[in-house]
Structure 1
Amino acid sequence: MTWFEAVPVALVTAAWLMGPGLAVGYLLGLRGVAAWGLAPIVSIALIASTAVGAEMLGIDWSVPVVLAACGAAVLVVGLGAVLLRRRAFFATRPDPRGVTLAAVAGMVPVLVLGIAAVVRAMGSPDAISQVFDTPFHYNALAYIRDTHQASSLTLSALGNPDIPAAFYPAAWHDIGSLVMMSTGTDIPTASNMLAGSVTVLLWPLSCLLLVRQLFGPNRAALAVAGVLSIGFPAFPWDLMGFGVLWPNLLGMSMAPAGLAVVATLTGWAREDAIGRGRAWLLLVVGGVAAGFAHPNVLFSLIVLSVFFVGATLLRRALRLRRDGRTVRGVGELVVFVGVLLVAWWWAATTPALANARGWIWRPFETPANAVGEVLLNSTNGHEALWLLSAVVIAGVVAARRHYPVLRLIVAGHLATAFLFVLAAAINRPDTQKFIGYWYNDSHRLAAMLPITAVPLAVGGVLLLATLVLEKVPTWVPRPVPQPLSRLRRLRAATPVAVGLTLVLIGATGLLYPKDREERITFTYPREPKAQLVTDEMRAFYDEIGDRLPEDAVVAGNPFDGSVMLWALEDRKVLFPHFLASHSKEQKYLARNIDEATSDPKVCQYARDLGVEYVLIGKTKVRDNAGYYAGIGDIAVSAGTPGFELLDSSGETRLYKIAACEDGGAGVPNATSPPR
């Protein structure tokens, strides 16, 4: 597939991400940046909730079902808009058209630079992601395609009836499956288009909304916010390659918009564009969206929101003190701190989060190095972003001199930096109470830093623009009244800020593209040795996919690339992920399937699970401590009794379990020469 052929798929992906939310948002009265920045949250909440509800009602997951659910939501909201249009719930003044146009103009370089990075890093729109978590995400899409069930309550088992279903945030897979069903595209292409759309569309729009709420209808701020948002490789670029953490990518892309809602509710939004009534509703919708995208983002938002809520209560306490009600003000602060501590202790000890807290990553640097990486935005050992980091530091100065609300952003940035240092440089069992909600992972915590770094960078650009204007002669003739002079200086700030941003882009070679692209390329390696499925293996899978029955179940060691057969050819594999839970029958076959001619249990379990074939991807692979020893023995053997070689290409081979045909065992080995 060419990139030109992938354009319709990308447009459909963007439509699913934005369309439902825009329809609901406009009926709610949202306009401009607020409507576009919040649209993905509403869309994700609607789609993921529909997936859960449809399965509970026994309805197959399909495009018409989602469209019907979205249509019902639009109808309900539209009716509410008619009934409440005169009430304060909908009372906000839309931004002037020039403000929205500034934001739109600022998105142009975002799309150009972002799409260019994605195209160069992926190579082709149907490139296969080859890292640890990819098989689960691909096979989850394959499971949804085959079963038409997409609920977050059951997806984790991937249809294995012997494994208890557990909650897994499936919003990413829900949307990916809709892209597949709407366009007929394959799983790798749908996944790539979705990941790319989240990166170059959702994240910048989310950042634009946060900047709009913090700086007000400031044309200069909105003109530069979008492009600055894609300048920090730690997010979204790192999560496009590391893991690969696509659900995390989707969830964290909503975090700035969620924080913008919090700014409205706490009274810190400047010339608010959302409205407090709508903000309460959107807080609930955002919680649903975040929970179904990845609960990780909820913890990130809590950390950053604490400072907004705390500052609001402190400001209220000072006001109450002036009114002679000091006890009440202090009491509210004490209650807030108490609730915060109780909630933290619950999260730090509850068994519900034990799995996440239990992941341990070895520290890989000193605390001093970790602090330096935060200052230079070079987390996890990557390139130092000297100029962009200097602009962020200028934003810290701007918080002190011009934009008091940015002080809360600075506090959030420092809190995130502390958590990152714990993960990267210390990471002991006792730190789990602080960083366990992010799997104790430095990459997930580093992804939080751009949420606060982007508005700080915007503040830095505005500060520098102000300094430039103060150093040049006034642009207004002397006889003109001073108020008008200040107005013209304010208008002049926009081209100056844009000019400074263009200088930054040029001086950094288009905002550090090498670092940005290398983080994505990590998951799309070009060298066969680094690939889970090579081009030769993929071609072989295309061949055998037509030969295998549609209901075939194929055994294989997932570490040798056979795990991808389900996603690529729609032929189910027995082991769909590296670390999936398995039934006793699956475990037994993994270790003993090579003994089909001598062990009756092998054929019994194979028939119970419908397994008739074995696929060997590569012979030299990780054995997972002998877990797949039986399959491994077939891989290294020139001819295993009871297994008929159907086809081969290089190391890759497809066998039929001949020993278990006709309900028996002991069938002599049959082989055919490799082609």
Structure 2
Amino acid sequence: MWIEFFEAAAVATLFLLVPGYLLLRALRLPRAWSACLAPAASFGVMAVLGVVYGKARIPANVVSEVAVPSALFVAAALLARHGLRKGAPDRDLPRLSWGCVALYVVLGLVVAAFMYLKPLPGPNQIMVGKDVAHHLNGVLAFAQSGDFSSVGMSLYQTTADLAINPIGSGFYPAGWYIPCAMLVQLGVCETAVAMNAVNLVVVAVVWPLGVLALLRWIMPSSRRITVLGAIACTMFMPYPWYLLEFGPIFPTLAGFSLIPSCAVAFMLLVESDLSRRDRVRTLIAFLACAAGVALTQTSALFVDVIILVPYVCSRILTTSAEVRIRRLRIGPHALVVAWLAFCALVWVAVNRSSIMASVVRFSMWNYDSSLWQSIVNIFFLAYEGRFVGDLGQPVLGLVVFLGIVWTLRNRRLLWVSASYALACLTIVGNGLLKGTAREIVAGFWYSDPPRLAALAAICAVPLAAVGFAWLMHGLARAFRAEGRWGSSVPTTVAPVALASAVTIAVFFPSFNMPTPDAPSAGTGRVETKVESTRSALRAVYSDYETINTRKRAFLRTSQSRIEHEEGQDALVMNNPFDGSFIAYGDAGMRVLFRDLATGEGSQAADAAILRERLDQVATDHEVQDAVRRLGVRYVIKLEDCKENPLNSFKWSYKEDQWAGINGITDDTPGFEVVQRQGDMVLYRITAA
């Protein structure tokens, strides 16, 4: 199955590179730059087309989502090259070599193999977490329905499922689901493998390429910073690695990977020396990237705001921009104040709008931390504080601190430190503030410590690259001043040795502390941030009471029996809290409840009758009518889930709401056993 996994990853890479690359080439961006920004543009193209096709009732698939737009972009590129302005040059950007592109991708793959693939128990393992229901079932719903729209998304999207949807539909940024669904449509792999393969591409290819573009743009004269950025972008545990094992919040993982690319597209747009034609082209590129971010994870746009607001301030001051209104002259400093005031007003207005209410007012975590503790956490890169108990990353924190000092001394990248300061303020505010104040500061990310930690880590990556480069430069100068090893050694061996030492220190594994009495036994385990992240990832992808290999196998054999008897569209009643919420996405079984919810859609009334009284189907005519209206043919019951302290699924569970399913036994009138394995059983309904 690993071969299938890597085939899926290769195909997903094509999905995320080809359309965006061809679009950006048609817009006259240089080749290597187009490759780096391609994933954000590809997500944008596919997500926007998904909405358009959904409204027009056109089936979405690989042809309509990838082949058709790619062909149009090729035609546009050829027209641009051979049309009225034949031979027009590409946009003049800092030189970006394919060697750097290869370096970032190779290092991304190497670290991803260590941090993600090695701890992963298998390529089709499902992460244990409440939100996996939405992701797993949503991907298959996309694949089977051919509806890839973020508008009106639900877990019930086929024609048959629309008639029995018990939980309704709504807007959900669905960009991440599209490449997963296309892999399933093509038959490359099953749903779980598709999700894991796309996640690999996101962390090993998409994220590093975006960082490369950002570093090359903000520091075009420093090849050392560009090269060291390839290492720096893989070192931060809060992003991307922790988001692989938290939630799961895979759309956030994907959306955050596009943040650097979208930021670069905006930076290209606000350059002062662009011709009108180039500005229009760059605007199209930016809109494609921004659409990719917004329709993959909308909250990622606000991370771009945190990055770009200080950048615009820097551009205003460095270019001495001014505005004249008749006789009134507004200088650069006044423009900066006006810009900051405008951004603050828009931020608060959007935050307080009804559209964002469900996000910013989310209050599950009730996180708190003192000011001093938050400062210590930030310095050690333990951004999550008490949310995740570990040592943080003190070595990498020192490198980031050196980067901040460099920006304070040289001023060219002072705006990067300002962006990082804003990100850190969201962490401090989330720990100190309550109510509306907390919502304004951290609400765009659900006031969620792991999401805020990822935000800070993303903003810290350029500082780490700068600090790394400054540290190496200082070491080389020190050796050169000593003159001990000849003229060439300090500029080659010393920097490489330092880079290796820092990398080893950051990725140093956990170890046991020996004692004098039993040196080999150890009295306690010193667990590094890297090792704790890998251990947690291994744990959440392993078998639990809720989702395990035994349950998944029973669901698949049950679905085979159902398909043999009634066809694959037969509807199955279930209690999702026993783990059967994965039955649709993992086994293709049309269970009625595909999320840990009781229902609120148009069919919620009939669903409620069955939830509470299905065991009375032999004698209750109202239950019989509900069974006929919905078309329920079977009942699936899995082993009851025990509470798990790490991943609780039953915090919203009320047993009386599911009495109609829990009360069914082999002796209940109106039911017939189709197959049984221990406490797991598939019943056929015979009384309606």
TM-score higher than 0.5 here?
Answer: yes
1:134-213 matches, cutoff 5 A = 134-156=132-154, 158-159=156-157, 160-161=162-163, 165-213=169-217
1:645 is matched by which residue type in structure 2?
Answer: V
- What residue ranges of structure 1 are gaps of 5+ in the alignment? 477-487, 661-675
1:613 aligns with 2:634: yes
Answer yes or no: is the 8 Å Cα contact 1:40–1:202 preserved in 2: yes
* 1:24-39 correspondence runs (5 A): 24-31=23-30, 33-39=32-38
- 2:250 corresponds to: 246
Match of 1:291, as an amino acid?
A: A
Once residues 424 and 331 of structure 1 are traced to their aligned partners in structure 2, the CA distance between those partners, rounded to angstroms, is 33
Partner of 1:613: helix, strand, or coil? strand
Is the 2:572–2:591 contact (alpha carbons within 8 Å) kept by the matching residues of 1? Answer: yes
Bigger shift: residues 283-292 or 31-40: 31-40
Match of 1:289 in 2: 292
Aligned-pair distance for 1:496? Answer: 5.2
- Residue of structure 1 in register with 2:574 after alignment: 556
Equivalent in the alignment of 1:594:
615
Give the letter aligned to residue 10 of structure 1. Answer: A
> Which residue of the partner structure matches residue 472 of structure 2?
465
Q: Which consecutive unaligned segments of at least 5 residues does structure 2 have? A: 510-528, 643-649
User: C-alpha separation between the residues in 2 aligned to 1:239 and 1:84?
Assistant: 48
- 1:21 aligned partner: 20
1:266 to partner: Cα distance: 4.3
Asked whether the equivalents of residues 46 and 175 of structure 2 are also in contact (C-alpha less than 8 Å), the reply is yes
Q: CA deviation at 1:176?
A: 0.6
Q: Partners in 1 of 2:130 and 2:490 — Cα distance?
A: 50
- What residue is the counterpart of 1:640 in the other structure? 668
Is the contact made by 1:129 and 1:524 (CA closer than 8 Å) also made in structure 2?
yes
Q: Deviations over 1:232-273 (max 9, x none)?
A: 11111121111101111111001012222333344599x9xx
Of residues 385, 401, 414, the one that matches 2:409 is: 401
Give the direction of change, closer, same or farther, for the CA distance of 1:614–1:644 in structure 2 (3 Å limit).
Answer: same
Distance 1:417 1:154 in 2: 35
Select the residue among 217, 220, 233 that pairs with 1:216: 220
Residue from 433, 436, 439 that aligns with 2:443: 436
Q: CA deviation at 1:464?
A: 0.9
Rounded to whole Å, the distance in 2 between the matches of 1:596 and 1:219 is: 73
Tell me the CA shift for residue 32 of structure 1: 5.4
**How far did 1:157 drift?**
5.4
Distance 1:395 1:169, change over 3 A: same
Q: Does 1:91 align with 2:91?
A: yes
1:230 is matched with which residue: 234, 257, 266?
A: 234
Question: Residue 102 and residue 329 in structure 1: after superposition, are their counterparts in 2 closer, same or farther (change >3 A)?
Answer: closer
What does residue 133 of structure 1 align with?
131
Q: Deviation digits for residues 360-381 of structure 1, max 9, x if unmatched?
A: 0211543432332222112322
Pairing 1:263–2:267 present: yes
Q: Which moved more, 1:601-610 or 1:150-159?
A: 150-159
Aligned counterpart for 1:454 among listed residues 443, 461, 467: 461
For 1:576, the equivalent position in structure 2 comes to 594
Q: Which amino acid aligns with 1:344?
A: W
In structure 1, give the amino acid aligned to 2:213: L
How far apart in 2 are the matches of 1:327 and 1:7?
A: 57
1:605-631 Cα offsets, whole Å, 9 max, x none, are 222122121111222453712364224
Q: Secondary structure at the match of 2:186?
A: helix
1:307-343 deviations in Å (ceiling 9; x for gaps): 112233344567779xx97545566445424432331
The residue number in structure 2 matching 1:585 is 606
Q: Choose from 413, 422, 428 the match for 2:429.
A: 422
- TM-score, length-scaled by structure 1: 0.87
Once the two structures are superposed, what CA deviation does each residue of 1:638-675 show, in whole Å capped at 9, x if it has no partner?
64332222222122211122222xxxxxxxxxxxxxxx
Residues 27-53 of structure 1: per-residue CA shift (max 9 Å, x gap): 333335422220101111111122222
Q: Which amino acid aligns with 1:37?
A: C
2:516 counterpart residue number: none
Q: SS at the partner of 1:659?
A: coil
Q: Residue by residue, what CA displacement relative to the aligned partner does 1:515-568 show, whole Å, maximum 9, x if unpaired? A: 342343343134x33xx2211112211211111131111111212111111112
Q: Deviations over 1:80-130 (max 9, x none)?
A: 454476799943056164xx4245235433321212322222121111222
Instruction: Rate the CA distance shift 1:331–1:405 in 2: closer, same or farther, 3 A.
Output: closer
TM-score w.r.t. the length of structure 2 is 0.85
Q: Give the counterpart letter for 2:141 in structure 1.
A: Y
- For the Cα contact (< 8 Å) 2:322–2:331, is it kept in 1? no
Match of 2:658 among 613, 629, 639: 629
Partner of 1:514: 531
Kindly report the root-mean-square deviation, in angstroms, between the aligned alpha carbons of the 2 structures.
3.0
Contact persistence 1:32–1:94 (CA under 8 A):
no
CA contact (8 A) 1:375 1:389 kept: yes
Q: Cα offset for 1:451? A: 1.6
Higher mean displacement: 87-96 or 405-414: 87-96
Q: What's the counterpart of residue 349 of structure 2?
A: 346
Alpha-carbon distance in structure 1 between the residues aligned to 2:368 and 2:672: 48
Change (3 A) 1:566 1:206: same
| Identity value in percent | 22
Task: Decide whether the 8 Å contact of 1:348 with 1:434 is kept in 2.
Answer: no
Residue aligned with 2:684, SS: strand
Q: Equivalent of 1:355, from 355, 358, 363?
A: 358
In structure 2, the residue matched to 1:542 is 556
Per the alignment, in what secondary structure is the counterpart of residue 656 of structure 1? strand
* Alpha-carbon distance in structure 2 between the residues aligned to 1:641 and 1:307: 69
Q: How many residues align?
A: 635
The structure-2 alpha-carbon separation of the partners of 1:395 and 1:430, relative to structure 1 and needing over 3 Å to count, comes to: closer
Q: CA deviation at 1:23?
A: 2.3
AA aligned to 1:596 is V
Counterpart AA for 1:570: G
- SS class of match (2:59): coil
Q: Describe how 1:71-86 pairs up with structure 2 within 5 A.
A: 71-83=71-83
2:321–2:332 Cα contact (<8 Å) kept: yes
Q: Is the Cα–Cα contact under 8 Å of residues 134 and 244 in structure 1 kept in the other structure?
A: yes
Once residues 455 and 404 of structure 2 are traced to their aligned partners in structure 1, the CA distance between those partners, rounded to angstroms, is: 17
Q: Distance in 2 between matches of 1:268 and 1:243?
A: 42
The residue aligned with 2:391 is: 383
2:464 alignment partner AA: A
Please say if 1:657 is aligned against 2:657.
Answer: no
> 1:35 & 1:493 partners in 2: Cα distance?
33
Q: Which moved more, 1:460-469 or 1:243-252?
A: 460-469
Instruction: Give the Cα separation in 2 of the matches to 1:537 and 1:193.
Output: 23
Provide the C-alpha distance between the structure 1 equivalents of 2:18 and 2:330, rounded to a whole number of angstroms: 49
Measure the CA separation in 2 of the matches of 1:103 and 1:147: 37
The equivalent of 2:52 in structure 1 is: 53
Q: Is this contact kept in 1: 2:30–2:93, CA < 8 A?
A: no
Change (3 A) 1:611 1:89: farther
SS at structure 1 position matched to 2:676: strand
Q: CA deviation at 1:230?
A: 1.3
* 1:121 partner SS: coil
Provide the C-alpha distance between the structure 1 equivalents of 2:137 and 2:85, rounded to a whole number of angstroms: 46
1:271-324 C-alpha deviation (Å, 9 max, x unpaired) = 9xxx76643222211221112101111111112211112233344567779xx9
